[in-house]
Amino acid sequence: MRNNITLPTLLVNAVAFSNPDCLGAILSEAECKIYFKGCFLIKPSNRIIDSRGVIYTPEAFNSSYGGKLFVVTPDGKTTTVPWDAATKSLLWTIPKVDGVRFLPGRPFGEITIDSLGREFVNTWVPPKIATLQINEEPDLFLRHLELLLPVRGDRVALIEYMAHAVKYPGYKIPWAPLIQSAEGVGKNVFKLIMRYAISSHYFYEPKAKQLNDSGAKFNGWMENKLFFICDEIKTDENRDMVETLKPFITETQLEIEGKGSNQRMGDTPGNWMFFSNHKNAIPIHKNGRRFAVFYSAIQSEADLNARSMDKAYFDTLYNWLGGDQNGNHKIGLMIVADWLLNYPIERGGVPTRAPVTSSREDALIESRGWLEVLIMDAVESQLNGFRGGYINTAAIGRIVAAERKSVQPATMGGALRNLGYVRIGQAGRGWHQDDPSNPNRRGWIWHTSTNASLTGYASAQSYAQ
């Protein structure tokens, strides 16, 4: 309800204070500009966002900004309703926009205009992260990382990824690390550090089941976030799940849909980190560029014991970090956050493709599907059609049929490419040894080298010509 009161013209021309907290009970036009500074009306949703990034309904805005008398007309009439003062005043109103953007690194309140002339306000508010500078590296954290990943190159790649995400919020790194290990190795250390250094407000942990069941459809949780950590990821043969994850990792804008809300384009600058206890958690292939797989040296309880990673070890580590369950002093977290923020890496200094880790070759083997495993078993057994670096698709048909399975040509080709084979051409004839059920079948010849020739196939198989 609006409450109008006529005041002397003197009040309308009152001098504005620079601090909203110093303003009196009656606010002039100039003082309203100070009081509502940083507020924007989002027209389609009829909501107001303030300089802290808080979004209000009319009722919530009135409750939060009430307690003042606002001058709203040239002749001195007033209202006690903040929403009316901010959006309906005849003297001045807050800026009114068509939507919001989430653009970290650019000023809050910056207006961008799209190709249709619509105005969008940037809602990114930089977090205030307390840090603690010391004249040495965070040894407890680095020692823990070394126990998990003893290969120095692996540690450097992971540290650079974390530091870049912390130093340059909003910079989308188009790949994600996957750390695999036994249970109980202290993966929570990474969660605590990234949640603190990024700010819990901009951090989110989607459940693996959530991603699998409805994450691709109802993905409103991705908005306004800078870092995601997903634990216990396991896709098995679910290649659709892998395809779901790829745009999450690479795209800076996606169609966003929350439950009960319409689809729209939204900013998705967040970066990702995955954890799993399974070596085949996310299948990769030879030309893959989205996942950097790190297999920890700790794969069993015996590995933990061999490194003296017992209760005393973890108590010391977590008590130093000082999270909510360990004193909440955050000393270790502040030290690591400061170290990451000052880590010597330039903006864009991370690779655009997932780096090759010491685990990559093992990960490629673990990632093989049933067909790839069947093919490589035939290669290792030196079966007909699988010798000398050659593979004949007619021979693949033979071993697939023996398993009482069937496979489409495209699937067969995809498996061969994943295994590092290239197609040379179609065989000039069929061979009984390759497929006794169809000896005239002219299969396609593949080889590990692009320089291989079709004419060398028969001799490599020891076939009489």
> For residues 133 and 429, what is the distance between their CA atoms, to the nearest angstrom?
73
How many other C-beta atoms are found inside a 10 Å radius of the C-beta of residue 147? Answer: 19
Reading the block at residue 61, the tokens are: 């805005």
Q: Please write the tens of the pLDDT for every residue from 217-274.
A: 788 899 999 999 999 887 765 566 788 889 999 999 999 887 666 678 899 999 999 9
More confident residue, 2 or 382: 382
Return the pLDDT at 362: 95
**Phi and psi of 113, rounded to 5°?**
-120, 130
Give the list of residues 6+ apart from residue 205 with CB closer than 8 angstroms, or none: 191, 228, 229, 230, 231
Q: Which two tokens stand for residue 157?
A: 């790649």
pLDDT digits (tens, 9 = 90+) for 330-362: 999 999 999 999 999 999 999 999 999 999 999
Cα–Cα distance, 197 to 332 (Å, whole number)? 11
Query: How many whole angstroms separate alpha carbon 248 and alpha carbon 401?
Result: 38
Please list, in sequence order, all residues whose beta carbon lies within 8 angstroms of the beta carbon of residue 326, skipping any fewer than 6 positions away: 318, 319
Close Cβ partners of 253 (under 8 Å, ≥ 6 residues apart) = 265, 266, 267, 268
Alpha-carbon separation of residue 10 from 7, 26, 79, 296 (angstroms): 8, 12, 17, 73
Residues listed for the chain = 465
Looking at the predicted structure, is the pLDDT value of residue 210 above 70?
Answer: yes
Q: What is the mean pLDDT of residues 120-139?
A: 95
Q: Which are the contacts of 135, defined by CB distance < 8 A and separation ≥ 6?
A: none
Q: Give the gyration radius of the chain's Cα atoms.
A: 31
Q: Is the dihedral of CA 240, 243, 245, 247 positive or negative?
A: negative
Percent of the chain's residues with pLDDT above 70:
92
Average pLDDT score, the chain: 91
Cβ-contact 283, 297 below 8 angstroms: no
The span from the CA of 90 to the CA of 86, in Å, is 10
Identify the pLDDT of residue 36: 98
Percentage of residues of the chain with pLDDT beyond 90: 82
The pLDDT of residue 14 is above 50: no
- In 17-73 the beta strands, taken as DSSP E runs, fall at 26-27, 40-42, 47-49, 55-56, 69-71
3-class DSSP state of 295? strand
**Residue 458, both tokens:** 């028969």
Model confidence at 211, pLDDT cuts 50, 70, 90, reads confident
In terms of pLDDT, which residue wins out, 464 or 300?
300
| Structure-block tokens of residue 437 | 């059920």
Q: Give one DSSP letter per residue of 99-141, joined into a string.
A: EEE--TTS-TT-EEE-TT--EEEE------------SS--HHH
285 vs 306, more confident: 306
pLDDT digits (tens, 9 = 90+) for 93-121: 999 999 999 999 999 999 999 999 999 99
The per-residue pLDDT for range 308-317, each reduced to its tens digit, is 999 999 999 9
